[in-house]
Structure 1
C-alpha cells in the first residue's frame, strides 16, 4: 500500500512537470510565431501584418522593392514617452542648472533666473523666445563629441519623475518590436523627429536599433574649427539651422533620406504633414498614429494637450482610414519593465 501511494504521488508530480513543460513549449511557440507579442490581437496589429505581407510578397500586385521599403517614425510620443515634458527639454533645464555656477548673472536674468529658482511660470512667461534661448545655450559652446558625452552621462543618471526609470527605458516595447519586425522584412527604419538630431543620435541605436545616419531631426549650426592643439573639430553654435517638425518633416525626409517612405508612424499634429506626404505617394501606403489613451500605464491625452496635441491629424486619420493605435486597447505591454 505504501509503495502504491508513493508511486501515485510520483505520478502526480510527473504529470505536473509535464504540464508545466507543455505550457512553456506552447508559450515559446507562440512567441516565435508572433512577431509582435506586446501587441494585442485586433485591427491595428492586423493592419500592420497585412501591409507588410502585401508589400513584401514577391510577384504580388503591391510588392515594393527592398530599396524602396522606407519606414519613418516620430520619436517623442511615438517611440518613447513625452509627458509630462519633452525629454530634451528636461535635459536642457538640467544643463542650465549645471552651468549656473559659472554664470552668476543668470540669477537676475530671465529665463535663466526661472530655471535656477525652479519657477516654471517665469520660464513659460518668456515664451518661445525664452525657451529657444535656453535650448541654444544649453546645447552650444562645445564640440559635437563633448555634447554627445554630456547627453550620454545625463541619460545614465536622469530619471523620469513618475516612473523613476531612466528615460531610455521609457521606449515603447510594442514599437521596438515593430521596428525589428520591419527590419526583418528588409525595411530601412528612420527616426524623423522635431527633437535635436545630435541629442537623439546618442541613444537611437542602443534603444531602437536605428543607427545615427538614419536619424533626421532639428539641428543647430555647427562650425569647423581647429582646437588649441591644432586638432580639427566641430563646435556647436547657439543658432538654429533647421526645424524638423510639422511641415519641416517632409522637407527633412526629402533632404536627408531622398526617398518618399511607404510607412510612417506619428502621434501628434506635429507629424500631420509627414503622414500626409507618405500617404500621397503611389502604390501601397501605411500611416499609423499612436493615440495615448492609457492613464494607468502611461498617459491619456490628445486634442487639448500642450505636449503632443493630436487634433487635426486625428480627424484626417479617421476620415481617411489611417491606422489609429489605441494604447490601452492595442498594446498588451507599454514598457519592457512592466511585469
Structure 2
C-alpha cells in the first residue's frame, strides 16, 4: 500500500508540475511575461543608432556599410547565445549577383543573415520573423541612414530573438522552431527574400507563417500621434492568423490595428512590396507590420533621432506576442484564407 500511495503522490505531483509549466506558455504565465518584458526600449534604441549610423553608409546591397551592419548584428546574436541553422554552417546565406539581375542593375554579391532557435517539441515546424537590413546607400555624398526603413524592423527582429532566447534559458523555449531572417536586396527588388524562398534552408512545406517587419518606428500623416500599426495580409491565406494577431494585441499593447492596405483596390499595392510576399506566393500565411509612408521615406532625413521609441517597443512586443502563440499553440495554423490575390 505504501508504494501505491507513493506512486499516486508522485503522479499527482508530476501532473501539477506539467500544468504549471503549460500555464507559463499562456499570456498569463510567467514564461511569457518574463520574455515579453525583455523587449527593451533602450536596447532597440542602442542597436538602431548603430545600424543607422553614418558609418554604415546607408547599407546599400552588397556595400561595405551593409556588411559592417551585418557583422554587428551577428555579434549581438552571439552575445544573446543564439546560433544559426546547422545546415547553413554560419549566419550567412550568400545571395549571388546572378540572383539579383531582374531589373538590369549590376549588384554585388550580398548575404541574408539567419539566426535560429530550435523548437523543443515540433522542431520541424518553423516560424519565420523577417525584415530587410539593406537600404538605399549614399547618393552624391549624402548618407541615407534608413533608420525606419528598415533599421526599425532589423532591431525589432533582433529584440524578439533575444526575448525568445531568454525564455529558452528559463525552460520555456518555443515549441516550434523560429528563424530570424534578415534579408538583403529588398530595396532593389525583394531579392534576398526571393532567394531564400527559392533556396530555403528549411522546407517551405514546414514553414508555418512569416511575420514580416518593414518600417515600424514612425507614424504617417493619416495617423499622426496615434498608437497604431498597419497589419497587411494577415487573413489572405489563413483566417486564423488574423484572429491570433488580434488576440495577441488585446492581451498585450492594445494598438489600433489598421487594415487599410488589405483593400484589393489599394493603389500602393503594399501587399506585394515587401519581403513577406515571397512567402505568400508559396501559400505560406503572412502578416506584414508597417507604419505607413511618412515624409522622410527614402530621404536622408530618415534618421534614428526621429524614431518614436516607445511606439517601436510596443509594435515589437505585438509581433513577439503573435509569434509566441504561433510557436506554442497545439496545432499549426491552417491555410484556409481568401486567396493570394
Same fold by TM-score greater than 0.5: no
Shorter-chain TM-score bucket reads: under 0.3
- Bigger helix fraction: 1
* Structure whose CA Rg is larger: 1
